[in-house]
Amino acid sequence: MPDRRTELADAALAVVAAKGLKGLTHRAVDAQAQVAVGTTSNYYRNRAALMGAAVDRVEERDRLLLNQGEMKIPTSAAALAGQLADAVLGLARENGEITRARFAFALDQPDVVAAGHERLVAGLAQLLDAMGIPESRARAEAVSDYSDGLAMHLLTSRKGQQIDSPTVARSIQRLLEG
């Protein structure tokens, strides 16, 4: 059972996903969380604190999503590409709300999400380096860029279109192997 702070941060994400950052108010989060008016402001005294909690929660939920199931240490670029494809499609489909919120934060407050993005890219680069894949940093950035772009398109201009994991995995594998 999540604690109250986590519940409010999740409610803030839902508000941002539905209404954008302009809709993120303490009252909107109270309504989304179905708590008494004033509850959110008791936990997060100002909008900056509320926004910080929501951004932290995006990163935490991303980590939880990437670590769920039976993620195995990949032994090849093809295996890693398959895992990454499944993660990207999951973020754009079942977890589209988190991704919409992340994009809203990134577009309006890029500095707020920059550190989390850097941790993701650096972690992928480290994994690629350990796998012996050359130009690990550049390839990690390319995979991140492709993944973000694909997720954005699946949530907007290609919403409702079906794309399968093997197709995405092939694109990611090409980026990994050059």
Classify 72 as helix, strand or coil.
Answer: coil
Q: What is the pLDDT of residue 42?
A: 96
Task: Identify the pLDDT of residue 4.
Answer: 95
Q: Give residue limits of the domains in the chain.
A: 1-54, 69-177
**Spans in the chain with pLDDT lower than 50:** none
Q: Into which CATH architecture does domain 1-54 fall?
A: Orthogonal Bundle (1.10)
Q: How far apart are CA 52 and CA 134, in angstroms?
A: 36
| Predicted local distance difference test score (pLDDT) of residue 1 | 62
| Helices of type H across the chain | 4-19, 26-33, 39-43, 47-67, 77-92, 96-108, 110-130, 136-155, 165-177
Please state, in angstroms and as integers, the Cα–Cα distance from residue 81 to each residue in 53, 64, 145, 165, following that order.
31, 19, 14, 9
Residue-level pLDDT at 67? 66
Answer yes or no: are the C-beta atoms of 82 and 55 closer than 8 Å. no
- What is the pLDDT at residue 154? 95
Tell the burial category of 163 from Cβ atoms under 10 Å away from its Cβ (0-12, 13-18, 19+).
Answer: middle
User: Can you give the pLDDT at residue 68?
Assistant: 61
pTM above 0.75, yes or no: yes
